[in-house]
Structure 1
Amino acid sequence: MGRSARTAVIGVGNDFRRDDGVGWAVIDRLRERPLARHTVLATCDGDPGRLIGLWEGAGLAVVVDAAHAHPSTPGRVHRLALDAGRLPGPSATSSHGLGLGEAVELARLLGLLPQRLVVYAVEGADSDFGTGLSPAVAAAVPELVAAVESEIADAGRGAARRRPS
């Protein structure tokens, strides 16, 4: 499988910190869906080294993570696409100490970025200890699943166009 064939979908967060588990909830839903053959689903706690390892060599990496925003609209989804090796400055930040931006910058310096990186950041309402998403964030999960499926399908169509006849 070539570099551009694999798609990595990574749910970032902590399933035991309420809305911080939104990435994991999306991965759980995607595990129930028929996806393109070279799609790899994974969860991660947000550690930059683990993120880089999960997306290394991928043609497309899609990351779903909870975010903090001020002012916040719980359940609002932000889509950020990698542009020239850097993510644009988001209006929301990762809910983790070292953010996704640091992982992207480190991967860029090491030459380990995927060919394309798309991030879905979901504004959360509750990151207290406990399980289960707040109603607003739970309501965003089906939209996120559909959006990720669309990203995977678009990547598949792009790979098909690049194949020699």
Structure 2
Amino acid sequence: MEKDPFLIIALGHEYRRDDGFGAHVLRNLLKEAEVSCEAVFHAGDVSDLLERWNHRRVIVIDASESQGAPGRLHILKPLLASCLVPEGTVSSHGLGLAKTIELGKVLGKSPRELIVLTVEGQDFGSGPGLSSEVRGAVDEALSQLKKLVIGMETVHA
């Protein structure tokens, strides 16, 4: 039986400080491990991803506004958008991940499986580099991502 291909999407812009968290973590993974997936670095409107993730197994790595603990990691298995981004939260990704998930449901273009690895960000201003709080979460995020990848690389019936 062939392995079911999956997709890892790093959301965020590397020149918007903590918004570059996803790209930073995915680059580290690709340097350290050989993974059998498609890796995408995406800094634009996440609604562009609807076709790409349609009916696939997907891991998304992103940074979100802090809800009180910058650097805190969350692993979400949403197909319930409200657990991703509280109402009123501004996204740097245009439509935003939560709304894109909802739109995918309505259009029949949802991922088959979706896991979101997110960090609570501190600084989304202009410039490269992560805040110290988010930089401190990178090793744990990489460790968690490796576990998620191992889970995705198993054969699903």
Tell me if structure 1 keeps the 8 A contact 2:84–2:98: no
SS of 2:111's partner is coil
Q: State the superposition RMSD in angstroms.
A: 2.3
Q: CA shift at 1:36, angstroms? A: 3.5
User: Percent identity, aligned pairs only?
Assistant: 31
Q: Which residue number in structure 2 is paired with residue 140 of structure 1?
A: 137
Q: Which residue of 2 aligns with 1:53?
A: 51
Flag structure 2 segments of 5+ consecutive residues without an equivalent: none
What is the deviation of 1:46?
A: 4.6
2 CA distance for matches of 1:114 and 1:121? 17
2:154 counterpart SS class: helix
How many residues are matched? 154
In structure 1, stretches of 5+ residues that fail to align are none
Secondary structure of 2:116 counterpart? strand
Specify the SS of the correspondent of 2:15.
Answer: coil
- Verify: 1:74 aligned to 2:74, yes or no: no
Aligned 1:10-159 pairs, distance under 5 A: 10-37=9-36, 39-58=37-56, 60-70=57-67, 72-82=68-78, 85-90=79-84, 93=89, 95-96=91-92, 97-159=94-156
* 2:137 alignment partner, SS class: helix
Moved over 4 A (4+): 91-94
Normalising to structure 2: TM-score of the pair? 0.85
Judge which range, 119-128 or 148-157, deviates more: 148-157
Q: In structure 2, what is the Cα distance between the partners aligned to 1:107 and 1:6? A: 20
Asked if the contact 1:48–1:100 (Cα under 8 Å) also holds between the matched residues in 2, the reply is yes
Relative contact order higher in (CA < 8 Å, ≥ 6 apart): 2
TM-score (ref. length: structure 1): 0.82
One-letter amino acid of the counterpart of residue 41, structure 2: T
What is the Cα deviation at residue 29 of structure 1?
Answer: 0.7
> Partners of 2:127 and 2:69 in 1: how far apart?
21
What are the Cα deviations for residues 83-110 of structure 1, in whole angstroms up to 9, with x where unaligned?
xx42342476564242211110111122
- The one-letter code matched in structure 1 to 2:27 is D
Which stretch shifts more, 45-54 or 145-154? 45-54
- Aligned-partner residue type, residue 72 of structure 2: R
Question: Shift of residue 15 of structure 1?
Answer: 0.5
1:35 and 1:149 in contact (8 A); partners too: no
